Structure 1
Amino acid sequence: MRLDVETTRAGPGRLLVLLFLLLWCFAMPAKALVLSASDGLGRGIQLSGGLEIQRDPSGGWRIADVARGAQQSGFAPLEGPVQEGFSRDAVWLRFSLARTADAPARWLLRVRPPRIHEATLYAPDGRGGFVETPLGDARPLAAREIPDHNFAFPLDISTEPAVYFLRLRNDGPSLRAELDLWQPAGFERDRTADYTIMGVLLGAALLAVCMNLIFGAWLRDGLYAHYALYVLCIAALSVNRQGFAAQWFLDARPERVAQTLLAVNCFFNMVATAFMSRIFQFRRHWPPAAHFFNAVVVFNFVAFVLVLAGHHAAMAIWASAGSTASTLFGAVFVCYLLFVRRQFQYLLPASAFAVGTVLGLYGLLKLWLGDRVPGVPPDRIYWLGTMCHLVLLNVAVADRTRRAERDYRAERERVLAVRLEAEQALEGTVVRRTAELQQTNAALHEEIAARARLEARLRESLEVERQAIVQQREFVSMVSHEFRTPLTVIDGAAQSLDISKLGGEPVVKQRTERIRRAVQRLTMLIENILLADRLQPENRMLRLEVVDMAALARGLCESFHFPGASRLSIDVREPLPKVHGDRALLEIALQNLMQNALKYSPPERPVHVVLRHTGDIVQVDVIDRGPGVAMADKARIFEKYFRTETASAVAGTGLGLHLSREIAMRHGGDVILHETGTSGSTFRLALPAAPPEQVT
């Protein structure tokens, strides 16, 4: 090994220079890696065989301490790549490089994977010092001299051996590192291949997502949407693991790279665990296995939330442990399904997961042992494993559809066979039944003819009845009209007599009041009969207007000439909203309720009419002090012409309550028996309040 030292001192300092050279020689690696012109073009030159390592638990060593200070003798040879696990200690690597005379001076040192928090290269500057080049996922992409998804350090390598130092440290994720050297042209070709493979992977993932979403919509099976989400997570995980997320999305937020990677990893673990439990039907074969996987999903969700909250450094080892435990448990249970339960329908999805696992283990071996394991680089093995896993899993999901279609066809053929057998049995039954039907057909024709004759007679009877009803209505209308004129004359005469000189005499006054009460009773009877005809379905036309129920009730009390009308009292509890209805009909409904209350209350007891509103309902309670309604009659008191046995001594037609309820229902309300007992009854008229726009 030759050393190129440009700085020497004459005179007394020469001894110090020689001593420094001796210490330098002892501190240098035993053998420098000499690079030729053909190296670093087709594939990178691995440094796994020429590395020396020293750990810095404090993380505070400087290059002067490691290169020439107390720590320069602490380096030990390293076989294979750097594998430090979840330690947060800093790691110093030392290696020696030289090149042949025909080899280019410009080289690139690539450090993979791109999941290292701090990676700082110390290259000799030719004057006894070092040039510091800091990289790592904590530095923005714009600060890198080589903008690549991996960490690439530019090197100017001399023909004379020179010692280089590389400081690595991680803050949470497992520290692994693989170093290789490239010529710029070879590095560019390899980087182009990386981007091409990533493009193919993302394209295949996008195609798989779209196809499975379409299948899920067609077949109405949520497994396809779940698989589409699983593929999307694999693509996102690949983009983050290979450093493309830091280059494409987080170039201005490098402090988020490690957090994003762990968050995506936790979310992928949630989706993958649930998908594996679903596709292998853990709940069907052994519910505790499904419960365990549900617990793993919950664990990863909690880890996902904690990572988003900024605790990614502490959660890295736990997320890795949870993923390892669920993978091992899933592998054991799937082997149990295949080899013990002989559930060979799961062979394809098991193969898909097995290929990904085997290629992943092969990639780790390749990373650990380097060129002693034949094959492509570890990152290419990762790409290959991901692609094979997706292809086989697509085939497994498609095979599930094929088996479902096969089962559907078998079931359809079975149903068709059963149907054919049933049709044959039915044909025999039809033949037998046809003969029986022919025998009864003649009798049926005779019966139909007889029924037709009866129907004709019935129609004639209905027509006669309809004509009679029409004539009856015309007669009632005529008689009612003819009654109104003399009743009006009688009422007018009674009023005139009441206000004459003779009206002050007690006998005359008593008789005029009896005449007017009889006239009003007959008038109400006529109005109720005409109203019953008006409320028939063919005559249901309301003359709608805005009605003040309080004013209507007061007006009725003032003009009421029924016996005991003075006992009526009106109580309006609060300002009432108006109602939208037919004033004449509402007046008749309320008048019937008041008349009923006066008839059945003792002569000395009052009748209260209470008006209030509840929400958008106007309520009118008519409270009497009568004997109440018997329990057996409650369901029938609103029937047309119905009168209770206790009411036989009181004049009436049985139309009042019926008409009041009909009028209320025509207005969207109702009349109910709210309370009853030996101390009296309360009938409630409920009507909807008019909307404000109708009032205005």
Structure 2
Amino acid sequence: RAADAGARQHRTVLDIGIAQWAFDRAEGAGLGTDTLPASRIFYLPLVAPMRTRGVLAIEPEQRHWMLIPEQRQQLDTFAALAAIALERVHYIEVAQNALVNMESERLRNSLLAALSHDLRTPLTSLVGLSESLAGSRPPLAPAQRETAMLLHHEALRMSALVANLLDMARIQSGEVKFNLQWQALEEVVGSALRASGAQLQGHTVRTRLPAALPLLRFDAVLIERVLCNLLENAAKYTPPGARIEIAAALRGAWIDVMVCDDGPGLPPGREEAVFEKFTRGERESAKPGVGLGLAICRAIVDAHGGRIHAAPSPLGGAAFVMTLPLGTPPAMPAPETEG
């Protein structure tokens, strides 16, 4: 009890305001200094190479000790060594945490890649067999054909989920080779709309692309994957009949490509979280998916030197904006003249 009472007494003596001043300015304050010299305590900041790590509060038995240059020099040296020690402890913890996170991520990606690879072959067979079954001759009875089509649809959905898992693992491991070519944005938008046609049924889809857009340098297959993921995401989280729009706009040395809808939008504060792996737009959602589509989009766009973010839609729902650099397309060869 006596020790606790002594600790409380010292806490009441310490002036947090003076300590904060010394910490913020990395200067000594209190006893023996020009700042509040009437204080009984000397506040000495622990200044490390990267930042100030704390404040050492000293209440000497003899006040005149703080006026002795040798005594002050010893305190400064002690404070510097203590600050360096604290900083080393901090960075050791940071390095250990980073190493654990990197190893955990590597193991998770290896596991995902192995599982996805092993599941892809039987799923491909299942997709083909179910399609053959639905179109077999003589024709199946209506109830049997409906069952076969449902099996085919679910096999396609599972195959797409496995493809997402495998692609995420490949992108993060650096195994994906980018085929960067100068090409028209309109073409990849059209191919993405065709590829997502089944998921977009029942929705009103509109494109708004400026005329005479410049050529962009990107991997057409991967950027089509980004647009397909964004379109399918919009279709998944909006009711039937909802409007979905693809728009583009030039902005300085960049181009913004936006996929937006008039659905319910994103939950407040989730605009950045939805890009994390295994994160869904709606918690505990019954909608299919494992929460990798937007993470794959960000990984692909980042690899192209661009950015992608979520924002409120001008249509009233959610919007996802992909920003890509324009670059300088190569000059077109001069036409040959007849000689």
Task: Report the Cα distance in structure 1 between the residues aligned to 2:136 and 2:262, rounded to whole angstroms.
Answer: 37
The match for 1:486 is: 122
The match for 1:559 is: 195
Task: Report the Cα distance in structure 2 between the residues aligned to 1:673 and 1:650, rounded to whole angstroms.
Answer: 20
Letter in 1 for 2:119: F
Is 1:593 the counterpart of 2:202? The answer is no
Following TM superposition, by how much is the alpha carbon of 1:602 offset from its aligned partner in structure 2, in angstroms? 1.1
The match for 1:280 is: none
Following TM superposition, by how much is the alpha carbon of 1:580 offset from its aligned partner in structure 2, in angstroms? 0.8
Task: Report the Cα distance in structure 2 between the residues aligned to 1:605 and 1:583, rounded to whole angstroms.
Answer: 28
The match for 1:663 is: 300
Deviations 1:493-533 (A, max 9, x none): 12222332366754344434433433333333333333434
Task: Report the Cα distance in structure 1 between the residues aligned to 2:171 and 2:84, rounded to whole angstroms.
Answer: 39
| Partners of 2:184 and 2:216 within 8 A in 1 | yes
Task: Report the Cα distance in structure 2 between the residues aligned to 1:560 and 1:633, rounded to whole angstroms.
Answer: 25
TM norm structure 2: 0.60
The match for 1:584 is: 221
2:320 pairs with one of 671, 683, 693: 683
Following TM superposition, by how much is the alpha carbon of 1:605 offset from its aligned partner in structure 2, in angstroms? 3.3
2:244 pairs with one of 603, 607, 611: 607
The match for 1:433 is: 72
The match for 2:185 is: 549
Task: State the secondary structure of the residue aligned to 1:654.
Answer: coil
Deviations 1:131-186 (A, max 9, x none): xxxxxxxxxxxxxxxxxxxxxxxxxxxxxxxxxxxxxxxxxxxxxxxxxxxxxxxx
1:475 pairs with one of 92, 100, 111: 111
Following TM superposition, by how much is the alpha carbon of 1:437 offset from its aligned partner in structure 2, in angstroms? 7.5
| Partners of 1:497 and 1:503 within 8 A in 2 | no
Task: State the secondary structure of the residue aligned to 1:693.
Answer: coil
Letter in 1 for 2:71: R
Task: State the secondary structure of the residue aligned to 1:684.
Answer: strand
Sort the Cα spacing of 1:691 and 1:445 in 2 relative to 1 into closer, same or farther, 3 A: closer
Sort the Cα spacing of 1:443 and 1:558 in 2 relative to 1 into closer, same or farther, 3 A: closer
Sort the Cα spacing of 1:511 and 1:466 in 2 relative to 1 into closer, same or farther, 3 A: same
Following TM superposition, by how much is the alpha carbon of 1:542 offset from its aligned partner in structure 2, in angstroms? 3.2
Task: Report the Cα distance in structure 2 between the residues aligned to 1:684 and 1:453, rounded to whole angstroms.
Answer: 41
2:265 pairs with one of 607, 625, 628: 628
Following TM superposition, by how much is the alpha carbon of 1:671 offset from its aligned partner in structure 2, in angstroms? 2.9
Sort the Cα spacing of 1:526 and 1:694 in 2 relative to 1 into closer, same or farther, 3 A: farther
1:532 pairs with one of 159, 162, 168: 168
Task: State the secondary structure of the residue aligned to 2:259.
Answer: strand
Sort the Cα spacing of 1:512 and 1:565 in 2 relative to 1 into closer, same or farther, 3 A: farther
1:251-650 superposed matches below 5 A = 429-433=68-72, 466-501=102-137, 506-536=142-172, 542-560=178-196, 563-565=199-201, 567=203, 569=205, 571=207, 573=209, 574-610=211-247, 617-645=254-282, 648-650=285-287
1:74-113 superposed matches below 5 A = none
Sort the Cα spacing of 1:644 and 1:682 in 2 relative to 1 into closer, same or farther, 3 A: closer
Letter in 2 for 1:475: L
Tell me, which stretches of 5 or more residues in structure 2 are unaligned? 1-66, 334-339
Following TM superposition, by how much is the alpha carbon of 1:560 offset from its aligned partner in structure 2, in angstroms? 3.2
1:162-201 superposed matches below 5 A = none
Task: State the secondary structure of the residue aligned to 2:269.
Answer: helix
Sort the Cα spacing of 1:491 and 1:467 in 2 relative to 1 into closer, same or farther, 3 A: same
Letter in 2 for 1:485: T
Tell me, which stretches of 5 or more residues in structure 1 are unaligned? 1-427
Task: Report the Cα distance in structure 2 between the residues aligned to 1:644 and 1:449, rounded to whole angstroms.
Answer: 44
Over alpha carbons, which structure has the higher Rg? 1
Letter in 1 for 2:126: I
Following TM superposition, by how much is the alpha carbon of 1:683 offset from its aligned partner in structure 2, in angstroms? 2.8
Task: State the secondary structure of the residue aligned to 1:650.
Answer: coil
Deviations 1:569-616 (A, max 9, x none): 453643443321122321221111011111012123353334566676
Following TM superposition, by how much is the alpha carbon of 1:475 offset from its aligned partner in structure 2, in angstroms? 2.0
| Partners of 1:546 and 1:695 within 8 A in 2 | no
Task: Report the Cα distance in structure 1 between the residues aligned to 2:329 and 2:218, rounded to whole angstroms.
Answer: 14
Task: Report the Cα distance in structure 2 between the residues aligned to 1:570 and 1:506, rounded to whole angstroms.
Answer: 35
Sort the Cα spacing of 1:695 and 1:555 in 2 relative to 1 into closer, same or farther, 3 A: farther
Letter in 2 for 1:481: H
Following TM superposition, by how much is the alpha carbon of 1:627 offset from its aligned partner in structure 2, in angstroms? 1.1
| Partners of 2:192 and 2:225 within 8 A in 1 | no
Deviations 1:170-218 (A, max 9, x none): xxxxxxxxxxxxxxxxxxxxxxxxxxxxxxxxxxxxxxxxxxxxxxxxx
Letter in 2 for 1:473: N
Task: Report the Cα distance in structure 2 between the residues aligned to 1:430 and 1:539, rounded to whole angstroms.
Answer: 62
RMSD: 4.4
The match for 1:651 is: 288
Task: Report the Cα distance in structure 2 between the residues aligned to 1:580 and 1:683, rounded to whole angstroms.
Answer: 20
Task: Report the Cα distance in structure 1 between the residues aligned to 2:135 and 2:266, rounded to whole angstroms.
Answer: 41
The match for 1:339 is: none
Task: Report the Cα distance in structure 2 between the residues aligned to 1:506 and 1:635, rounded to whole angstroms.
Answer: 46
Task: Report the Cα distance in structure 2 between the residues aligned to 1:684 and 1:498, rounded to whole angstroms.
Answer: 39
Sort the Cα spacing of 1:432 and 1:529 in 2 relative to 1 into closer, same or farther, 3 A: same
| Partners of 2:117 and 2:166 within 8 A in 1 | no
Letter in 1 for 2:70: V
Task: State the secondary structure of the residue aligned to 1:621.
Answer: strand
Sort the Cα spacing of 1:431 and 1:587 in 2 relative to 1 into closer, same or farther, 3 A: same
| Partners of 1:550 and 1:611 within 8 A in 2 | no
| Partners of 2:124 and 2:159 within 8 A in 1 | no
Deviations 1:255-287 (A, max 9, x none): xxxxxxxxxxxxxxxxxxxxxxxxxxxxxxxxx
Task: Report the Cα distance in structure 2 between the residues aligned to 1:561 and 1:657, rounded to whole angstroms.
Answer: 19
| Partners of 1:491 and 1:516 within 8 A in 2 | yes
Letter in 1 for 2:233: N
Is 1:692 the counterpart of 2:324? The answer is no
